[in-house]
Amino acid sequence: MCSGRVDLKYVLRAFSNGIDGVFIGGCRFNECNYSTHGNYHALNMVLLCKKIMEHIGLNPERLRFEVMSGSEGNLFAEVVDDFVKKVKGLGPLGKGEGIGGNELKLKLGEVTKLVPYIKMVNQEKLGSRLENPEEYDGFFTSDEIDKLFSDVVSYYIDPDKCQACMLCARRCPAEAIISAKNQIHVIDQEKCIKCGTCFEACPPRFSAVTKISGEPVPPPIPEEQRTIVRKSKEKMREAALSID
């Protein structure tokens, strides 16, 4: 499998399952067997993941990426042996960093949920080709990662603008939008992956989905208040009342 297919969520999932270290091996740069040069993407993903690990308190040395040829069995053995010794020296995941199991699982879960958002924000960098190893250290900075998590975007459906067209709900990849016919839609913030699909799907004539950054999301409108009364139906009701 191409190393470029190793997604950020796979690495985080491994740590969430208690794996003490993750090693990713790829073919040498500019010697890609698939002509996709996915190893550059894998490198960028690892550099990003290492900074995220630092952000949540994990030692980034628990993640390693190396490139080598399929014929370099001796090199592979040496590198893996060195990595295993390094991970053993760091101790069990979390304990070596002084982080409790529940706290660590919570942190990894929160980051994993944000993977689509993280990839979207860093799309340009993740698609770059770093030809010079000297660029690796400063490619992603701690300040950049801190800002990434402090400025996480949330999405909210304005109940005064929602027309219950269900377009956002149909396109939401996480099924995070509570919807029904003639019912004001509500985004379940616990399920939302911050991908922005709802924002893009909402028709401009409604503009019901609002992007919120650095502020708390307003509480959802109570379920008993979500029914939309169309103007035509309202007029019919008024006419019926006047006849009575």
Q: End-to-end CA distance of the chain, in Å?
A: 74
- What does the pLDDT look like over 183-236, one tens digit per residue? 999 999 989 988 899 999 999 999 999 999 878 899 999 999 999 987 655 444
Q: What is the pTM of this model?
A: 0.79
> Is there a contact between 4 and 39 (Cβ–Cβ < 8 Å)?
yes
Per-residue confidence band for 239, with pLDDT thresholds at 50, 70 and 90: very low
Alpha-carbon span 35 to 78, nearest angstrom: 27
Distance CA 5, CA 115 (A): 15
172 pLDDT exceeds 50? yes
The domain spans of the chain are 3-150, 153-243
Per residue in 70-94, pLDDT tens?
Answer: 888 999 999 999 999 999 999 999 9
Class of 153-243 per CATH? alpha beta
With H, G, I as helix, E, B as strand and everything else as coil, classify residue 109.
Answer: helix
Phi-psi region of 181 (alpha: psi -120 to 50; beta: other; left: phi over 0): beta
Query: DSSP state, 220?
Result: P
Q: What DSSP state is assigned to residue 151? A: T
Q: Rounded to whole angstroms, how far apart are CA atoms 136 and 88?
A: 25
Please compute, for residue 126, the number of CA atoms within 13 A of its CA located in the half-sphere on the CB side.
19
d(CA 93, CA 90): 8
Cα–Cα distances (Å) from 115 to 93, 109, 211, 223, in that order, read 21, 10, 18, 30
Is the Cβ–Cβ distance between 105 and 120 less than 8 Å? no
Coil vs helix vs strand at 211:
strand
The answer to whether the beta carbons of residues 229 and 163 sit under 8 Å apart is no
Q: How far apart are CA 163 and CA 208, in angstroms?
A: 8
Closest C-alpha among 110, 114, 118, 28 to residue 67: 28
User: What mean pLDDT do residues 155-164 have?
Assistant: 96
